A and B are shown apart, each in its own frame.
Chain A
Amino acid sequence: MASGWQFSSVPGFPSFGEPKWIPACASAPAGERERLEDRRKLRILVIDDEQLIAETVEEILKHEGFDARAVFTSAAAMVLAEEWQPDIVLSDVIMPGLNGIETGIRIRELAPQCRVILFSGQAATVDLLEKARSQGHRFEILAKPIKPEQLVSVIRGRS
């Protein structure tokens, strides 16, 4: 387990890791820098058509000290992404309408510095990665089911 990640040893309540300041999307206008600098928590947009998964992940991430919001469709994700400018998009792959990859690509158009992490129940992750890479995106892929500890570790790992 990563250091400073001790919730497992303290049952009942987790210790929130040191919240880090992340310069959000570089594309943000210079005038907004003041507002962005106030941000202390990573903004994570969770997308999954399985409502229960989206809500539990949102809950867990909030618990871990992130600013998380859950949506259940790619359309809702698009609206929120533009307005809210998340740092990370965590999306299911197979969804009605736009799938996770297409959603990720569209959100990168709205927020180019966003990190996109996909998680899928299907095993064919290599193909999915190839598809995104062919369009110039380095998306990370996680396989469902993933333990919350691992998820948080991945999110923190690169940050």
Chain B
Amino acid sequence: MSALRNSLSRKLTVMNMLVSGGALLLASLAFFAYDLITFRSNLINSTSVQARIIGTNAVSTLIFNDPPSAEKTLSALRASRHIVYAGIYTPDGQFFSGYWRQQETFPPVSLPALSPQETEHYWFQDHQFALVQIIAFQNKPVGFVYITSDLEAIYSRLRSYAIILLVIVGASLTAALALSRVAQRAVSQPILRLADTAALVSRERDYSVRATATGDQDEVALLVDAFNEMLVEIQKRDSALQESEQQFRSLADSIPQLAWMAEATGDLFWYNHRWYEFTGTTPEQMAGWGWQAVHDPITLPEVLIKWRASLATGEPFEMIFPLRGANGEFRDFLTLAMPVRDAQGQVVRWFGTNTDITEQRRSAEALRQTEKLAATGRLAASIAHEINNPLEAVINLVYLARMQPANVAKYLTLADQELDRIAQITKNTLGFYRDSTSRTDINISQLLQEVLALYNGKLLFKRITVRPEYAQGLHISGFPGEIRQIFANLIANAIEALPTNGLITIRAARSWLPDGSHRRAIRITFFDNGTGIAPEHRRRIFEPFYTTKKDVGTGLGLWLTLSLVAKHQGVLRMRSNIRPGNSWTIFSLYLPEAPITN
């Protein structure tokens, strides 16, 4: 059956044979049936004629009661080989004379009953044909003839018919087979040629070939035309695709980034020219996972972990890592890779870019230094103001003490108090300039109070109330100068945001890092009931150069603060409300008690 299913020509052949064989068989059967019916009626007729001849000859023997003469007449039947028995009976049904094909004499067969109107009656029974006929003389029945004949003639005719049928059908089918072999080529050959063309197209991906027309106007020709039209469409799309691919590659080669593509398995199969230019490698070296060769061995394990994670989850890949250039120098690249998905949402490939951010990082570092300098400048001005005021008082008091000897003690006591103020300020500010290259234990409450003392003048100036609420014994390990800078920036921001008579609440307590890591941390919240930060500013306040107080700040304060917080692996969050009468801002700073060191 499978052979039949697999071959069109075989199907056609079998179909032809079935049709022609079936038709031939039906025709032959009809013909033979007609012939048999004819032959049967001939048998009946000839037997009837023979019975009449015998009856006519037997009239006188019956009339003259001469059985031997009747026997003689009957013996003529020997010429008819199919007559098994013939008998002559008297009108009252008594056996008169008989003939048996076999020589021995059988007892006379009794005459079957005949209805009164009939002159002749016949029937088929037990492979035999029997006929009874009245013998009449001058329209009076004088006796009966009874003949039984075997059907051997019919059977032999049937046998020869079967043989003829077999021969004819066999010969016809053989001829039909041969003819259909020839004929089916006309149908199957064009289809097979079409199949070959289709195979060629899919193998060679050459959409310029065309199936050859059969020259006919049949269905196969329609199929060939449709197939060729389809090829034209595919060729158009293919060239459009190639053009688009060409454009993509030109684009990818013209961008300053390094770009690449990877299979869903993570094998990289294409890089743009910039990649080879920068790394000084060849496509052979880079194929598959060869890119590892240009990575820094220190960061490579993390890159591999992240890349494999992205491959497994289909999540975009984003990471900054160094790549070694052709000159052996490592540069920092921001690498982004996006999955390309098919209609079913399955990742089919990855497209990635590496952007050289070495310069940006350097400029960012320079900016950080600039802001640090600017912050130092502002701090210096603040310190100058804080010191100059008590100094002015001291100078005046000394002058007055000199002028009014009677009040010397009073003036000098006052001067002494002012000098203490100056000493306190210098002591606190010195902390800003301590070396902060190594981590040390930091007492959070103490540091907060030191920073607050520095802003004492400003706080008094704006009549701001400060409410410190610190838990006992809060310590972290970090860089004191930088933590001090974080506190100073957040407190300075709160002061800037407040009108006179404002309120600042600073709370410090033990907590956990809000990043899901469950690491122990100190949470310090800086609350002020100032004007609040408008929603449109909230997202941007941590960006460099973003400032709403153009004449005062560089716009780098919070940006620097955030980078210092990140350096301490901490988290800085801001919430604000600008509803008039109930406006406030809270900066929540989480600093881990001990940093994770790698």
Contacts and interface: CB of A to CB of B under 8 A. Distances in A.
Contact of B418 (A12, A52, A148): A52
A148 B392 CA distance: 9
Interface string B385-427: 1111101111111011011110000000010001000000000
Interface centre among A52, A96, A149 (most CB of B within 10 A): A52
A35 interface: no
A144 B403 contact: no
Contact of B385 (A11, A97, A121): A121
A95 interface: yes
Given A12-B405, A50-B393, A96 B461 contact: yes
B79 to A, nearest CB: 159
A43 B246 CA distance: 88
A95 B402 contact: no
A122 interface: yes
Nearest to A56: B396
Given A50-B393, A96-B462, A123 B403 contact: no
Chain B contact surface mostly: helix
Given A60-B399, A63-B403, A148-B399, A123 B461 contact: no
Nearest to A8: B402
B403 A7 contact: yes
Contacts of B500: 96-97
A124 to B, nearest CB: 7
A52 B385 contact: no
A142 to B, nearest CB: 10
A94 interface: yes
A7 B400 CA distance: 12
B463 interface: yes
Interface in B374-391: 381, 384-389, 391
A57 interface: yes
A14 interface: yes
Contacts of A123: 381, 384
Nearest to B391: A145
Contacts of B400: 56, 59-60, 63
Contacts of B402: 11-12
Interface in B343-387: 381, 384-387
B419 to A, nearest CB: 12
A22 interface: no
Contacts of A144: 388-389, 391-392
A49 B461 contact: yes
Contact of B392 (A7, A63, A121): A121
A13 interface: yes
A128 B73 CA distance: 171
A124 B396 contact: no
B403 A56 contact: no
Given A11-B402, A49-B461, A122 B385 contact: yes
B552 to A, nearest CB: 11
Interface centre among B391, B392, B402, B405 (most CB of A within 10 A): B392
A158 interface: no
A145 to B, nearest CB: 4
Nearest to B418: A52
B396 A57 contact: yes
B395 A147 contact: yes
A115 B389 CA distance: 23
Given A96-B463, A145-B395, A121 B403 contact: no
Contacts of B384: 121-123
Given A52-B418, A56-B400, 8 more contacts: A11-B402, A49-B461, A52-B393, A52-B396, A122-B381, A143-B388, A144-B389, A146-B395
Interface of B: 381, 384-389, 391-397, 399-400, 402-405, 414, 418, 461-463, 500
10 contacts: A52-B397, A53-B396, A59-B400, A94-B385, A95-B461, A96-B461, A97-B500, A121-B389, A122-B385, A144-B391
3 smallest beta-carbon distances between A and B, as pairs? A56-B396, A121-B388, A121-B385
